[in-house]
């Protein structure tokens, strides 16, 4: 009898959900929950680094989040400014490399600049690679990849017959990253909400009951333990126990 051990994921992606509800449960404004959400992100990055996770991708602002009240959007921009100013040193000291995925064009110029500087400063770090998804949507990502490939075909530099999964993946915002093996969503909601639609095709989805501001190292380890119990078949048959 062979007991195959599930290898820990290299790439974990997180839908950080429930900041608003967490705050409302405490009779506080939603902004209070977002601020606590930034602290949760700091904890989880630190813990993920310690566990040796190679890639962590977090959904911080989706293409649908523009539907929120302007005040809340402005507050999130303010948090991003603070995050890039205050937290980058801490991440750099942990040898974390920070990258943004998504289309930051509609963001305020100073936020874009701070994000670019954070990326620049940490670009040679060899620790955890942290992708922060900002104005990211899985569908928008697939569309921009399709446009890119169509442009290459029109220019005569790409034969449509040469477009395969690897070629397509190289045009996505996550080019060069392995697909996430584990997607965690907090606050009990079981949806992908337009996150990494292509990349998460075979990811295990673990939904945790706590809202994002309560998520910590122990919650992350519980999600990893749940992942290890899963039988990943990729369309094949169950593994022999
Ligand atoms: C989900 O809670 C959270 C967001 C939409 C984005 C905000 C994320 C953070 C503040 C953490 C990371 C921040 C930075 C600066 C990198 P929700 O508002 O959807 O909660 P709800 O579902 O309870 O309303």
Integer Cα distance of 101 and 94 in angstroms: 21
Domains and CATH numbers, the chain: 11-137+180-229 (3.40.1180.10)
Q: Is 83 in the pocket of ligand 1 (CB under 6 A)?
A: yes
Supply the pLDDT for residue 57.
98
User: What tens digit of pLDDT does each residue of 64-99 get?
Assistant: 999 999 999 999 999 999 999 999 999 999 999 999
Supply the pLDDT for residue 1.
42
Identify the band that residue 239 occupies on the pLDDT scale cut at 50, 70 and 90.
low
For residues 47-71, give the mean pLDDT. Answer: 98
Q: Which residues are designated catalytic?
A: 17, 65
Q: Say whether pLDDT at 4 is over 60.
A: no
Integer Cα distance of 153 and 53 in angstroms: 37
Q: Is 44 in the pocket of ligand 1 (CB under 6 A)?
A: no
Q: Is 15 in the pocket of ligand 1 (CB under 6 A)?
A: no
- Ligand 1 atom nearest the C-alpha of 62 is 5
For residues 194-202, give the mean pLDDT. Answer: 98
User: What tens digit of pLDDT does each residue of 123-168 get?
Assistant: 999 999 999 999 999 999 999 999 999 999 999 999 999 999 999 9
Q: Is 18 in the pocket of ligand 1 (CB under 6 A)?
A: yes
- Of 10, 86, 16, the C-alpha closest to 48 is 10
- Of 4, 133, 115, the C-alpha closest to 65 is 133
Q: Say whether pLDDT at 241 is over 60.
A: no
Q: Say whether pLDDT at 209 is over 50.
A: yes
Which residue among 14, 15, 16, 102 is best mutated to probe the pocket of ligand 1, counting the most ligand atoms within 8 A of its Cβ?
16
Mean pLDDT of the residues in the chain? 95
Integer Cα distance of 128 and 54 in angstroms: 5
């Amino acid at each position: 009898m062979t007991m195959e051990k599930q290898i820990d994921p290299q790439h974990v992606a997180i839908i950080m959900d429930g900041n608003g509800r967490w705050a409302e449960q405490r009779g506080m404004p939603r902004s209070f929950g977002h601020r606590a959400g930034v602290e949760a992100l700091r904890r989880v990055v630190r813990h993920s680094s310690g566990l040796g996770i190679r890639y962590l991708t977090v959904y911080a602002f989706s293409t649908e989040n523009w539907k929120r009240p302007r005040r809340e959007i402005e507050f999130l921009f303010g948090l991003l400014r603070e995050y890039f100013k205050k937290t980058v040193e801490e991440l750099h000291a942990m040898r974390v490399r920070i990258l943004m995925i998504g289309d930051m064009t509609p963001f305020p110029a100073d936020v874009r600049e701070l994000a670019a500087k954070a990326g620049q400063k940490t670009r040679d770090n060899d620790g955890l690679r942290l992708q922060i998804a900002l104005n990211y949507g899985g569908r928008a990502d697939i569309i921009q990849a399709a446009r890119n490939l169509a442009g290459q075909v029109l220019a005569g530099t790409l034969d449509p017959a040469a477009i395969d999964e690897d070629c397509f993946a190289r045009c996505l915002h996550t080019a060069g990253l392995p697909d996430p093996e584990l997607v965690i969503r907090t606050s009990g909601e079981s949806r992908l909400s337009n996150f990494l639609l292509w990349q998460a095709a075979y990811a295990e989805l673990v939904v945790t009951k706590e809202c994002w501001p309560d998520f910590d190292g122990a919650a992350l380890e519980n999600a990893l333990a749940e992942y290890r119990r899963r039988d990943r078949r990729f369309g094949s048959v169950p593994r022999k126990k």
